Amino acid sequence: MQPEAQVPYAQLEVAVLVSVGRHPLTGRARRADQDARGVELALSLDKARITLLHAGTLDEQSESALRGYLGMGLPQLTLVEQPPGADVVPALADMLDEARPQLVIAGERAEEGEGSGLLPYLLSERLGWPLVSGLAGVEKVENGVATLLQALPRGQRRRLQVRLPAIVTVDAAAATARQSAFGPARRGEVEVETAAVVWDEAQSEWSVAPARKRPKRLKIIKATSARERFKAAAAKAEGGSGQVLTDVTPEQGAEAIFKLLKEEGVLR
Amino acid sequence: MSDILRRDPRKEWIARNRLHPEHLSVLAEFGEGVSAATEWMGPNGVLRRNPHAVGFMGPNGIKRIDRSGAQQGGPAATGMAETKDSRRQVTIDDPAFLVAVVPDMSGGRLSSHDRDLLGLARQLADADGERPGAVLAVVFGTHKEEAFDEAGVDRLLHFDDILFDGHAPEARLAALAVVEGELAPSHWLLPDSKLGGADLGRRLAARLQERPAAGVWQIEPDATAPLGWRCTGRGAAGTSDIQRALPRIVLALAECAEPVSETRHAARPLALAQPLPSLLARIEDLGSVAVDPAGVALAEAEFILSAGNGVKEWEGFHHAAKVLGATEGASRVAVDDGFMPRDRQVGATGTWVTARVYVAVGISGAIQHLQGIQSCEKVVAINVDPGCDMIKRADLAVIGDSASILAALVEMVERQREEKRDAA
C-alpha cells in the first residue's frame, strides 16, 4: 500500500552476538541458551537480514556448538578469530563499526569464563549506541525507531522506545529458541575472519574454582539474657504493630485498604 | 552554703540495714557505690559478685534477685523502666573516604538486598578504626524510606527529579558520573539485581572504564590487594567462583553481608555543588504494560489476593481480583474444598510467595500458611474473627464481612478509574 514508506527500511540489518555455551550438568559445549533466544528474537523480526557474529577459536567443540545456531535456519556465521584469554571487545567493536548493523542483539551473560555480562555495555560505550537490557520482545521497528518490550521481575513488562542503531540484551523471559535442525547446521557456513588480538591481562591473576554452595544465612538472635533468648525461640507470629480496624462499615474498611494499595503502588 | 557537714542519722541507719526497702537507693545517694561493691576481680582471676548488693525487696519483704537482666531496685528504684534504644549512634564528621552505594529502592523503600549491600559498605568503611570512611547512598526519584539511618547510611544524596522516574538509565548514569567527578568515592557498590542495579552498575563501569566484579557474594581483607580487600564472585552463569582483588566497582548479590543492626548513623543529606548536565534521552519509557495477572506465577507475583475458608461468595472474589489486577491465591482449605485449583495454594505445602502486598480474605492464618507468606512485605487481612493469627501478622486488618468489604473496594477502584478517565 505504501511502498515509499517501506523502501528505506525494507531490510533491517541485525547482528546477533553468539557465544559458546556450557551445559550446566554435563559441562559440554552447546549453543548458549540466552544467545539462542537472541537468535530467535532476530528471526521473529520482519524483513531482517541477520548476521551471526562470534569471537573465539574454531575447534571441534566450539564448532559443533556454533553450528547449533546455524541449525536454527541461518546460512552463515562470521567468526572473528580470537585466542582464549583475549579481550574480544576491541575486535567485536571494530567489526560492528564496519558492518554498521541497526540492531545488535546479545545474550545477558556468557555461560563460560567471567560471565560478567559486561560486553554489550562496553560495546555500547565504545560505539556510542544506546543499550536496552533484559528484553522480552521487539514489538515493531519503524522509521529507525524500535519499540521494545522489557522484562521486569515479577512477570511485569515495560514498553520502551529507542532510536536505532542500538544494542539490546535478551532476558530469560524472551521466547524460547526453536530446535536446531541437523541438516541446516551441517550445511551452514562458518566464515573465519582474523582480527588483532588484545590480551586480557587481569584475568590471569584470578583464581577460578567450581562454584561453592553459599552458606545459608542464620537467624541471628541478639539477646543479652536468658529471658530474651527464650522469648525469641518461643515467639509465634510477630506483629502487634499492625493496625486493626474493628466496628467499621465495609466502606471505611475498603477505604483503608484502598489507601494502602495506593501507597504501595500496586493499583494501576 | 555553710561547709558544716550535716549527717542524716536515719539514712545512715538505712544504709546499714540492708533489709530496709530503701537500702539500695540510700546507698546510691551516699555515693559509695553499689556499683563499686557489686563486682570485683578475685585473687584467682575469677569475677566475684556480692549477692547482698544486688537485688530488690519483693512485695512481701523478701529480697529477690532478678537474673534476667531487667534488674530493678538499685539507684533509680522508682520503676522507671524506660525502653532505651540500645543502638550506638555513630557520626562521622570528616570521613577519610567515601563508599558509594546505589540502592535499587524497589517500591520506594530499601529492599533486603539494598540493606545487605549497605552492610557490605559498612564493612568497607569501618575496617580501619583510625581512618573511618562514610557510606554514601545515592537515591533516585521519589522514595518512602525513613530509616536510612538504621540501615547504615552516613551521607544521603537524593536526586529528586522527574527525570529519574521510571526507566531512565542514561539520566542516572550521567548523575553518577557527576558524583564520581565531584566526590570520587573509593568504592562503588551496586546490587546485581534485575531491578535496575545490575544494568546501572555495568553502565557505570563502562563509563568510568573500570573493570567491575559481578556477582560478588563475599569479601575478605587482603593486604596484598590494591584496595586491601579480596572478593569472591560468581562467574560463568553461576557455575564458578572467581576470587580476585576487589575492584572499585562491585556488583554484589543478595546476602553478601549482614545488614546493619547495632548502630545508627547520621544519614546527613548532601548536595552536589554543580548542577547536573542536561542530556537528550535516547531511550524513552512508554510506561508499564498491563500483563494478565492470572498468567503470572504465584511465586513471583507482586500483588496477591488470597481466599480462605471465610469466602462464601466466590463470584465476587474473582471479580475483585480481576478489577484490582491481583493474582489469585488460596489457602489449603479453599483448595481442598474445590473452590480454587491446587497450583494457587499458598503456604508450606503450596507455594512460598514473595508478594509485596498480600491481601488475605477470610484466612485465619494457620502456621503453614503464615510460613508461606513470610517474605511478603505488606499483609492486609479481612476477617470476621479479631483473634485469629492472621490479624496478628497483618499490617492492616479489617474486621468485617469479606464479601461486602471487597464489593466496596471494587466500587471504590472503579469509581476512581472512572474519574481518571473523565479527567483525561
Closest-CA residue to B178 (of B268, B271, B114, B246): B271
Give, in order, the Cα–Cα distances in Å from A85 to each of A32, A114, B268: 19, 11, 45
pLDDT band at B81 (very low <50, low <70, confident <90, very high): very low
Residue range(s) in chain B whose domain bears CATH number 3.40.50.1220: 293-419
For B293-419, CATH number? 3.40.50.1220
DSSP E strands: which ranges in B246-354?
249-252, 263-265, 268-270, 283-289, 303-307, 327-330
The answer to whether A242 contacts chain B (CB < 8 Å) is: yes
Closest-CA residue to B92 (of B308, B345, B324, B264): B264
Q: What is the SS3 assignment for A234?
A: helix
Bridge partners (DSSP) listed for residue B232: B218, B243
Sole residue written with cell 477505604: A255
**pLDDT value of position B121:** 92
pLDDT band at A66 (very low <50, low <70, confident <90, very high): very high
With 0-12 CB in 10 A as exposed, 13-18 as middle and 19+ as buried, what is A134?
A: buried
pTM, whole model, 2 decimals? 0.75
- Among A22, A133, A202, the residue with its CB nearest the CB of B211 is A202
pLDDT band at A3 (very low <50, low <70, confident <90, very high): very low
ipTM comes to: 0.85
Most confident of A1-15, A61-75, B46-60, B283-297: A61-75
**pLDDT value of position A6:** 44
**Nearest residue on chain A to B354, judged by CA atoms?**
A154
Question: Does the structure show a pLDDT above 80 at A253?
Answer: yes
Chain A positions in Cβ-Cβ contact with residue B205 (cut-off 8 Å): 118, 121
Question: Does the structure show a pLDDT above 80 at B259?
Answer: yes
DSSP E strands: which ranges in B197-248?
213-221, 229-235, 240-245
Sole residue written with cell 552463569: B237
Question: Does the structure show a pLDDT above 60 at A8?
Answer: no
Query: What average pLDDT does this structure show over B315-342?
Result: 91
The answer to whether B47 contacts chain A (CB < 8 Å) is: no
Residue range(s) in chain A whose domain bears CATH number 3.40.50.620: 11-205
| Interface mutation vs chain A, best among B302, B373, B391, most A CBs within 10 Å | B302
Residue range(s) in chain B whose domain bears CATH number 3.40.50.620: 91-270
**Nearest residue on chain A to B241, judged by CA atoms?**
A211
State percent of chain A over pLDDT 90.
40
Question: Does the structure show a pLDDT above 70 at B82?
Answer: no
The answer to whether A231 contacts chain B (CB < 8 Å) is: no
Question: Does the structure show a pLDDT above 90 at B49?
Answer: no
Record: contact A261-B357, CB cut-off 8 A? yes
Chain B positions in Cβ-Cβ contact with residue A268 (cut-off 8 Å): 288, 290, 325
The answer to whether B264 contacts chain A (CB < 8 Å) is: no
Min Cα separation A229/chain B (Å): 10
**Nearest residue on chain B to A165, judged by CA atoms?**
B282
Distance, in Å, from the CA atom of A217 to the CA atom of B423, rounded to the nearest integer, reads 50
**pLDDT value of position A7:** 45
Pull the grid cell for residue B125: 568503611
Question: Does the structure show a pLDDT above 70 at B328?
Answer: yes
Question: Which residue type sits at B147?
Answer: A
Q: Give per-residue pLDDT as tens, A94-152.
A: 999 998 899 999 999 888 888 888 999 999 999 999 999 999 889 988 888 999 999 88
Pull the grid cell for residue A213: 554452595
- Window 183-202 of B: residues touching A by CB (8 A cutoff) are 193-195, 198-199, 202
Distance, in Å, from the CA atom of B190 to the CA atom of B202, rounded to the nearest integer, reads 9
**Nearest residue on chain B to A146, judged by CA atoms?**
B283
Distance, in Å, from the CA atom of A168 to the CA atom of A38, rounded to the nearest integer, reads 9
State the architecture of A11-205 in CATH terms. 3-Layer(aba) Sandwich (3.40)
**pLDDT value of position B348:** 87
Distance, in Å, from the CA atom of B304 to the CA atom of B358, rounded to the nearest integer, reads 5
Pull the grid cell for residue B260: 546493619
Mean pLDDT of chain B: 85
The answer to whether B83 contacts chain A (CB < 8 Å) is: no
Distance, in Å, from the CA atom of B230 to the CA atom of B224, rounded to the nearest integer, reads 9
Question: Does the structure show a pLDDT above 90 at B86?
Answer: no
Question: Does the structure show a pLDDT above 90 at B28?
Answer: no
Q: What is the SS3 assignment for B96?
A: coil
**pLDDT value of position B85:** 65
Query: What average pLDDT does this structure show over B152-169?
Result: 86
Q: Give per-residue pLDDT as tens, A199-215.
A: 888 888 888 898 888 88
**Nearest residue on chain A to B301, judged by CA atoms?**
A154
Question: Does the structure show a pLDDT above 60 at B72?
Answer: no
**pLDDT value of position B37:** 63
The answer to whether B161 contacts chain A (CB < 8 Å) is: no
More confident residue, A106 or B67: A106
More confident residue, B344 or B23: B344
Chain A positions in Cβ-Cβ contact with residue B407 (cut-off 8 Å): 250
Class of domain B91-270 (CATH, top level): alpha beta
